Amino acid sequence: MAAAAIAAALGVTTLAACGTEDVRGAAGKSDAPAPKTVTLVSHDSFNASKEVLAEFTKQTGFTVKVLKSGDAGVAVNKEILTKGSPQGDVFFGVDNTLLSRALDNGIFVPYEAKGLDLVLPEVKLDKEHRVTPIDTGDICVNYDKKYFADKKLAPPQTFDDLAKPEYKNLLVVENPEKSSPGLGFLLGTAAQYGDDGWQGYWEKLKANGVKTVDSWELAYNQEFSGSAGGKQAKGDRPLVVSYASSPPVEVLYAEPQPKEAPTGVSTGTCFRQIEFAGLLNGAKNPEGGKALIDFLISKKFQEDMPLQMFVNPVTKGAQLPELFTKHGVTIEKPQTMAPEKIAEKRDQWIQSWSSTVLK
C-alpha cells in the first residue's frame, strides 16, 4: 500500500492508472472492453512490474488494464455504488477492516482460485470464496529518525507512549471513515484498550495534539517530516500512521540509497491488515478475471509484490527480497481482531471516533 505513493513523491514512475478511454473504449465505440482485456480496479497504491504483467499475458492471452480508484475505503464505496455494473472485472485492495461491508453489499461473486491450497490458512477469512487473500501488512506508527536524534528524544514504541506529553503535536493519523490505514489504526486501539477504553485513549491523543487528515497520501507525503528520504519532506510531524514495510520504500527510492532507512517503526502500535481480491458481480470478462485472481496468488506475482507494493506474500514458498527483510520490520505480535467483531462494531466505532476526535 505504501510503495506507489512514496515513489510518486520521489518522482519515480510507477504503473499508471488507465484513463476511461483505455478501459472502456473511445467515445462513440462500444462500452465493452476488448475480449482479451481484463480490467483490475484497485486502490491508488496497486503496483506491479511490467515484466510480471507481461508474463500473465503470455500465460493467458489476457492484457491487464488497471483502474485506480482512490484510497481503499473510497474505492470500495465506489464499487458498492456501482454494484452489478462495475468499473472492471476484478477488485483488488479490500482488506479485513472493510471486508464485511463489501461482502454484505454483494459486490463479489464466488470463485475458488487455482492455487488457493498454497495460501496460508490464517488469512482465508471467507469460506464462500467471494474474495481471495493476496497479501498482508502491518499498519503501524512510523517515526522520523533524524527528528528524534536531533531532539535527543527516544521515539515512542507503544500506544501508551503516543499519549505522553513529550510527543505532543507530533502525530498525524488518517480519518478511519475515509482511509483503510486510519481504520486499521483505530481497530488497533480498540483491540488494545477494549470496548470500554479505546474512546478514552483517543481523548488523550486529541488532548496531546493529534492531527487528522483524509488519506494516507496526505498524511505521509505532506504532513510527515520523514517522507521521501527526508529530502522532499513538506510536513513537520515526525510521527505518522503508515506501515511496518514503509522504511524499505524510503531506501529503495532514495538516491543514493542510504545504508540505513531514515524512518523507523513503533512496533507496539501495529494492526495486522490482510488484502483481498475478488471477481466483481457483473464483470464483463469473468474468464479473464478468474485467470487474473489465479495469477495474483501465483509465486511469480507474490515474489514481485514485496518491492512493488511493500506488502508480505501469502503464498507458501514465496521469498522476500533482501532489501525488504533488511530494512523492514517483522511485527511479532500485532493487534488483530475477528472479522465478525469488526463487522459488528466498525461503523459504531467510526461514528464514536468522529464525535470524539473531530468535534
Q: What is the 3-state secondary structure (H, E, C) of the chain?
A: CCHHHHHHHCCCCCCCCCCHHHHHCCCCCCCCCCCCEEEEEECCCCCCCHHHHHHHHHHHCCEEEEEECCCHHHHHHHHHHCCCCCCCCEEEEEECCCHHHHHHCCCEECCCCCCHHHECHHHCCCCCCCCEEEEEEEEEEEEEHHHHHHHCCCCCCEHHHHCCHHHCCCEEEECCCCCHHHHHHHHHHHHHHCCCCHHHHHHHHHHCCCEEECCHHHHHHHHECCCHHHCCCCCCECEEEEECCHHHHHHHHCCCCCCCCCEEEEEEEEEEEEEEEEEECCCCCHHHHHHHHHHHCCHHHHHHCHHHHCCEECECCCCCCHHHHHHCCCCCCCECCCHHHHHHHHHHHHHHHHHHHHC
All 3 cell numbers of residue 258?
542510504
All 3 cell numbers of residue 181?
490505514
All 3 cell numbers of residue 59?
500465460
Q: Along the 359 residues of the chain, how does pLDDT read in single tens digits?
A: 555 555 444 444 333 333 332 333 333 344 554 559 999 999 888 999 999 999 999 999 999 999 998 777 788 888 999 899 999 999 999 999 889 989 999 999 999 999 999 999 999 999 999 999 999 999 999 999 999 999 999 999 999 999 999 999 999 999 999 888 999 999 999 999 999 999 999 999 999 999 999 988 899 989 999 987 445 557 999 999 999 999 998 998 888 888 899 999 999 999 999 999 999 999 999 999 999 999 999 999 999 999 898 899 999 999 999 988 899 888 989 999 988 899 999 999 999 999 999 98
CA distances from 49 to 46, 301, 345, 357 (A): 11, 9, 38, 40
Mind listing the domains of the chain with CATH numbers? 3-137+273-320 (3.40.190.10), 138-272+326-358 (3.40.190.10)
Nearest to 150 by CA among 240, 253, 226: 226
Angle (deg, nearest 10), helices 180-193 and 198-207: 120
Alpha-carbon torsion 305, 309, 311, 314, what sign?
A: negative
Nearest to 311 by CA among 350, 277, 338: 277
